[in-house]
Amino acid sequence: MTEVGAESAEAARAVALLYRQGVDRDMLEGFLADLGFEILGGWPDAGGRGRLRPVSLFICDEVEGERRLEELLRLRRDAEGVVTPVLVLAGSESAALRLLHAGFDDALVHPVRKAVLEARVLSLTRLHETSLASVRRDQNLKVLLDAMVGRELRMAELKKVIRSLREQLLAAGIQPAANDPLLEDPGER
């Protein structure tokens, strides 16, 4: 699993806008900017190096949604627990339903009221932030669990050493002054 760190914090307010229609795209960019989002136009590759820049939400029109369907769904499969939702703005209810059934997270039909769009965008970005926090918690728990397992392994090794030392003392005719309560069976006391 890759570590979720500062790179993912940068995604918290970034939206990839995959949208072809000029006027609607301009209005969406202004709307998202007013909500405090950084807008990435087009596919969010990190400087063309083949690595995607993290975003908290993809918003696409129907045409781009269908064109990028496989790529977007592959991103979902390979995300390792981090949900990056896809909101598609469709021209008809049947297109919206088709894209929802294909695997997108949400779909709205044009025209869309600002209040509805704002609620959906904020809800979907909260979903991303919640999944990101969950992955971070899982990573922290894994570190803790690895440390605990390591401690238990070291304790088992120390128990073997103590048992060996005790046997050496007894073989030399020396009675140990103390017994290790972790090595004894309760009936031996």
CA distances from 110 to 89, 96, 117, 146 (A): 7, 10, 11, 51
Structure confidence at residue 144 (pLDDT): 84
> What sign results for the dihedral spanned by CA atoms 87, 90, 92, 94?
negative
Structure confidence at residue 12 (pLDDT): 58
CA distances from 160 to 123, 147, 157, 163, 183 (A): 55, 20, 5, 5, 9
Structure confidence at residue 183 (pLDDT): 56
pLDDT tens digits, the chain, 189 residues: what are they?
444 444 444 455 888 888 887 778 888 888 999 999 988 876 666 555 555 678 888 999 999 999 989 988 888 777 677 878 999 999 999 999 999 999 999 999 988 899 999 999 999 999 888 888 887 887 788 888 888 888 888 888 888 888 888 889 889 999 887 776 665 555 554
47: DSSP letter: T
- Report d(CA 38, CA 59) in Å as an integer: 13
**Whether 28 contacts 34, CB under 8 Å:** no
Q: Which domains does the chain show, CATH number per domain?
A: 6-140 (3.40.50.2300)
Q: Which two tokens stand for residue 16?
A: 């990839």
Task: Identify which of 65, 136, 140 has the alpha carbon closest to the alpha carbon of residue 105.
Answer: 65
